[in-house]
Amino acid sequence: MKLHRTNTTGLEKASFLFFLLVSFSLLSGCDHAPEIIKISGSKMGTTYHVTIVADQPAPANLAEQIDQVLSAVDQSMSTYKSQSELSQFNRLPEAVQVKASDQFWTVLQTSEKIWQQSNGAFDPSVGPVVDLWGFGPKTGEDRIPEDEEIAAALANSGFENLLFNRSEQAISKQKPIAVDLSAVAKGYAVDQVAELLEMLALPDYLVEVGGEMRLSGSNPEGKPWRVAIELPSLMPQVQEVIAIHSGAVATSGDYRNYFEKDGQRYSHTIDPRSGRPITHSLASVTVIADHCADADAWATALMVLGEEEGMRIANQYSIAAYMLVRGGEDFRVISSAAFQPYLPNAENEI
C-alpha cells in the first residue's frame, strides 16, 4: 500500500486497466491550495488507486481505513479465499440456510435485480461453467469442454436456485450451485471506499479498483474528472474522453482475456444461458451509473447480450451504455440515450 501526498503542479497521467484518467494542475492564484492525496495498493487480486482533492485535513490513518474496507469486501466475496463468506456458502449442502452479512446480502440483491432485468444474461451462479473453460480460479490448460460437460455444469447453475429469506436476511440453495461475484464485487468495493470518503467529508475523489471507478466532485483544476475510454486493442489507445462530476464507470471487454485454439478465439465472457463464450461482434461496453456495483454488473450483462439486445435493454432501463462493435479492422460506436449527455459534443458537461 502506498500513500503519497503532494500539492499538484504540472500535468499528471494515470493509466488504468480499462481507463486513462487525465488530471490537471491546480488553478493558479488560490490562497489555500487543496492537498492532493494519492493512495494505492493491491487487494482482491488486483490493484487500487485513490485520488482525493482535500480542502480539509484527512485522517492520518486514511490509507489503513481504505485497506480495511477493501479487506472486508475481499474476505466476504473472494472466490480464492477458502474461508471467505462466499466460499463457505458455496460448500454448504442444499437446503441449509445461513445468515448473510450486510455486504454479502447487498451484493446478492444487486445481482438478483440485474439477473432479472437482463433476462439471465448476468448470472453469478455460472462459476462452475467459467471454471470449465479455464477462466475461473480453478484454471488449467486451454481446452474446449465437451457438450456433456457443459450440460452437467449448467444443470447445477441458475440464479433461480439461490433462495432468499428476506425477513431473516438469510440464504440457501436448492441445487449445489457455486456463486461467483467477481463481476460485481470490485464495483461494490469501489462504492464502499467512496462511501467512506464521503463520511469523512472528502467529497472530491476518484476511486479505482481493477479498472472500475467512481468519481465525485471536481479534479484539482476544479473541473469534472476526465476519463478516457480505451480502444479495444493490445496497445492502449484512447477512443473517447468523457467528463464526469459524479458517478461510477465500468467497462467489460473481450479483448484481454481469451485463448485461441485451432484458429478460433474463445472469450472469457461466458453466456450463462448457453454455457459457452460469446461469439458476437461486440468488443467492449462501458457503463456509467450512480453506483459502481451496478455499473460493473451491467457492463458484464450487456457484453453477454451483444449489440442489439444489449442496447435495447440499456434503453429500456435508462442505462448509460457506450459500445464498441467490431467491423473489419475498425470499430463502430453506438450509445444509449442515457449516455448521450456524457459525450464531448453534449451541450452540458455532467
Burial class (CB in 10 A: 0-12, 13-18, 19+), 32: exposed
Nearest-angstrom CA–CA distance, 192 and 66: 9
The pLDDT-based confidence of 349 (bands split at 50, 70, 90) is: very low
Burial class (CB in 10 A: 0-12, 13-18, 19+), 326: middle
Q: Give me the phi and psi of 64, to 5 degrees please.
A: -65, -40
For every residue of 186-242, DSSP letters joined together read: HHHHHHHHHHHHHHTT--SEEEEETTEEEEES--TTSS-EEEEEEPSSSS--EEEEE
The residues spanned by each domain of the chain are 80-182
Which pTM does this prediction carry?
A: 0.86
- Asked whether the predicted pLDDT for residue 128 surpasses 50, the reply is yes
pLDDT of residue 29: 36
- Give 23 or 247, the one with higher predicted confidence: 247
- Give 222 or 190, the one with higher predicted confidence: 190
- Asked whether the predicted pLDDT for residue 90 surpasses 70, the reply is yes
Report which of 273, 72, 47 is spatially closest to residue 192, judged by C-alpha positions: 72
pLDDT of residue 256: 56
Which residue type, as a one-letter code, is found at position 24? F
- Asked whether the predicted pLDDT for residue 96 surpasses 90, the reply is yes
Nearest-angstrom CA–CA distance, 47 and 189: 12
pLDDT of residue 157: 93
Provide the angle, in degrees to the nearest 10, between the axes of the packed helices 292-305 and 102-117. Answer: 30
Give the sheet arrangement for strand 98-99, strand by strand: 98-99, 170-173, 162-165
Interval 318-338: pLDDT, tens: 999 999 998 877 889 999 999
The mean pLDDT of 283-311, rounded to a whole number, is 97
Q: Report the percent of the chain where pLDDT is more than 70.
A: 82
Q: b/e map of 213-246 (b: 16 or more CB within 10 Å)?
A: bbbbbbbbeeebbbbbbbbbeeeeeebbebbbee
Task: Give the lowest-confidence range in 157-161, 267-271, 272-276.
Answer: 267-271
The mean pLDDT of 154-163, rounded to a whole number, is 95
Classified as helix, coil or strand, 131 is: helix
- Asked whether the predicted pLDDT for residue 112 surpasses 70, the reply is yes
For the chain, give the number of residues.
Answer: 350
Quick one: CA dihedral 27, 29, 34, 38, positive or negative? positive
CA dihedral 77, 79, 81, 83 (to 10 degrees): 60
pLDDT of residue 85: 98
Cβ-contact 50, 198 below 8 angstroms: no
Q: CATH top-level class for 80-182?
A: mainly alpha
- Give 340 or 329, the one with higher predicted confidence: 340
Nearest-angstrom CA–CA distance, 308 and 259: 25
Nearest-angstrom CA–CA distance, 177 and 311: 30
Cβ-contact 259, 286 below 8 angstroms: no
Cβ-contact 115, 293 below 8 angstroms: no
Average pLDDT, the chain: 86
- Asked whether the predicted pLDDT for residue 296 surpasses 70, the reply is yes
pLDDT of residue 237: 81
pLDDT of residue 347: 45
The pLDDT-based confidence of 6 (bands split at 50, 70, 90) is: very low
Q: Which segments of the chain does DSSP mark as H helices, in order?
A: 62-77, 85-91, 102-117, 127-132, 147-155, 182-199, 292-305, 307-316
The mean pLDDT of 43-69, rounded to a whole number, is 96
- Give 219 or 17, the one with higher predicted confidence: 219
The pLDDT-based confidence of 275 (bands split at 50, 70, 90) is: confident
